Structure 1
């Protein structure tokens, strides 16, 4: 177990490393940083959002209104998550 001074120094070193080399920190997976390690858009999330949107339409057309609304909400949340990840990959 580290002392308070050791914890403070370690946190200071982590912040300095994040400032000096954020790409290295992202590659090492040391936390949730705004720079993506791959730089690619999150295409699987967009595909999942599209499939969920179609599934919600099918549910509504079949007559399952509550299920259709739940799947539509799930689709919207997935699309928003994909949008946030895409925005973060474009900052590189």
Structure 2
């Protein structure tokens, strides 16, 4: 237990801290991390991967290799969906 004098000094320090840096105090009370969140980057490598897969699928389709073209197109759809989801998440942040 703190003595009356210690409690008074602690309360004074707290008031002073609220005056000096209210943002810091709000983060401490809110339980948010003190480290700012990392900036999310746009998924450029996924975009390039999707572009290569789509180009490969179209090329295989032109060459009438239907099975490999269909498999590659399915992979391209999957990667394109991941690109859209990641881009949506980055734009919200």
Relative to the length of structure 2, the TM-score reads 0.59
Contact 1:40 1:89 in 2 (8 A): yes
RMSD, aligned CA: 2.2
Q: How many residues align?
A: 64
> What residue in structure 1 maps to residue 59 of structure 2?
58
Contact 1:45 1:78 in 2 (8 A): yes
Offset at residue 38 of structure 1 (A): 3.2
> Cα deviation per residue 1:42-72 (whole Å; 9 max; x = unaligned)?
0110111011000001111112101001100
5+ long unaligned stretches in structure 2: 1-29
Q: Which 4+ runs in 1 deviate beyond 2 A?
A: none
- SS of the residue 2:92 aligns to: coil
Aligned in 2, Cα 1:71/1:87: closer, same or farther, shift over 3 Å? same
Larger CA Rg, structure 1 vs 2:
2
Where relative contact order (Cα < 8 A, 6+ residues apart) is larger, the structure is 1
